[in-house]
Structure 1
Amino acid sequence: MKESVHQTFTLVRKDLLLELRQQYSFYGVLLYIVSTVFVINLMMGRPDDKLWNALFWVVQLFVAVNAIAKSFMQESRGRLLYFYSLVHPRVFIAAKLIYNVVLMLLMSVIALLCSIVFLGNPLTNAPYFLGIVLLGGVSLSLLFTVLAAIAAQANHNAALMAVMGFPLIMPVLMLLANISLSAFVTVYQPGLPKMFLLLGGMDVLVIALTMVLFPFLWKD
């Protein structure tokens, strides 16, 4: 168990070092966030609350696709075979999940700051919305990591990830959008705890299924 934890964080450190050396990918996603939000500002000015919320989660969706997809796309078949000979598949996918969660949390905070700067701050409860953004970043990163892993086994077919991801990501986005609407009003909504439990349960389910299915997927 101790060795598996050490191997997991070693792989996470490896991905972080690669990110620091290949900074063009990080800055590419950062440029995408800033330019997208700035273009929205030029076209619409400062939208109303519901539209602001919807646009923010659309930006989050495409940020997740651009940031998470490369985690497996940059791994060659030979490198994957090398890792397969060194560590257990669950250790490898756990490292990818942790790294992508950290990356997506950072990108989510940057996207929120850019949205507030360029599109205004209609939030009544900013700490609550920040918590939803972080929770949503975790959910999106977990789901797209699994999809990227499946696409990587299909000759790095990014189109496959998009096709599979659309029906899976829509319920998550709708749930996040509904929960986050409470940050724009001062009225308490009694159904929020159930929504949080549902979102947390979906994250746990994704992690559990990934740990069970990925070893069989990686053997192929």
Structure 2
Amino acid sequence: MQSSSTTHITALVKKDILLEMRQQFSLYGVLLYVAATIFVVYLINGQPESDTWNALFWVVQLFVCVNGVAKSFLQEQRGRMLYFYSIAGAKDFILAKLIFNAILMLVMNLLALGIFLVLLGNPLEHMATFIGISLMGGLGLSLVFTFLSAIAAKAQQSASLVAILGFPVIIPQLLLLARIAKIAFAPVIQSGLTQMLLLLVGFDALVVVLAIILFPFLWKD
């Protein structure tokens, strides 16, 4: 049973990766948005201070996630969903979506960070620490918006509903990420990093558990 579930999840993830590689418009569109936004900021303000750099980075990550990840369920047609319903279970399907969107967001996260460093300079004191925090933050954002995308799709609403539902949920997480990321800008790593990271991991785990529990009720509709 476990082997069959793993096979279904792997096949669904590969399907999404192949579709993304064939289309590529979403990835290129997000990269263009990130590059254009950062370039405009650079023209207006030059290379900002560390606090502004940090805040701008997470705002851009939010919009990247909304535009890149939130469409995952909205682009699935009803006929295709019926086919998935016949070959895989609800848990396998939602886990495959969570994994694929996590991979997609991690790639876009690294690309966006590279553009930031090229155009807006490098105010980081601990590069490896910030990369790890940004990857964890991107993972958390992708999990939240994947689940919200499933709700919006079943409600037959547009991607705007994802943003509306996600705003009160994602703001506390963004504030936590921005606070954690400040550690990477300080010459000395301050205490409390472990506790905040555990809080972030716990939040991500809660989203995954809720998705696994609640998605089967949406899946039946």
- Please report how far the alpha carbon of residue 187 of structure 1 lies from its aligned counterpart in structure 2 after TM superposition: 2.6
SS at match of 1:71: helix
Q: Distance in 2 between matches of 1:218 and 1:131?
A: 34
Q: Distance in 2 between matches of 1:182 and 1:25?
A: 32
**How many residues align structurally?**
220
1:159 maps to 160
1:145 partner amino acid? T
SS at match of 1:193: helix
Q: Distance in 2 between matches of 1:52 and 1:179?
A: 14
1:165 partner amino acid? G
The answer to whether the aligner puts 1:214 opposite 2:219 as a matched pair is no
- Please report how far the alpha carbon of residue 39 of structure 1 lies from its aligned counterpart in structure 2 after TM superposition: 1.2
**Cα gap change, 1:112/1:121 in structure 2, threshold over 3 Å: closer, same or farther?**
same
The answer to whether the aligner puts 1:122 opposite 2:113 as a matched pair is no
- Please report how far the alpha carbon of residue 156 of structure 1 lies from its aligned counterpart in structure 2 after TM superposition: 3.5
The Cα offsets for residues 52-102 of structure 1, whole Å up to 9 and x where unpaired, read as 000000000000001101211110112112111111011001100000000
Does the 8 Å contact 2:71/2:159 carry over to 1?
Answer: no
The Cα offsets for residues 101-123 of structure 1, whole Å up to 9 and x where unpaired, read as 00000000001000010001000
Q: TM-score when scaled to structure 1?
A: 0.98
- CA RMSD in angstroms, aligned pairs only: 0.9
Unaligned runs of 5+ in 1: none
Q: TM-score when scaled to structure 2?
A: 0.97
- Please report how far the alpha carbon of residue 206 of structure 1 lies from its aligned counterpart in structure 2 after TM superposition: 0.5
Unaligned runs of 5+ in 2: none
> What are the equivalent positions in structure 2 for 1:1-220 lying under 5 Å apart?
1-220=2-221
SS at match of 1:198: helix
**Cα gap change, 1:156/1:85 in structure 2, threshold over 3 Å: closer, same or farther?**
farther
SS at match of 1:190: coil
Q: Distance in 1 between matches of 2:73 and 2:83?
A: 14
Runs of 4+ in structure 1 deviating by more than 6 angstroms, as ranges, are none
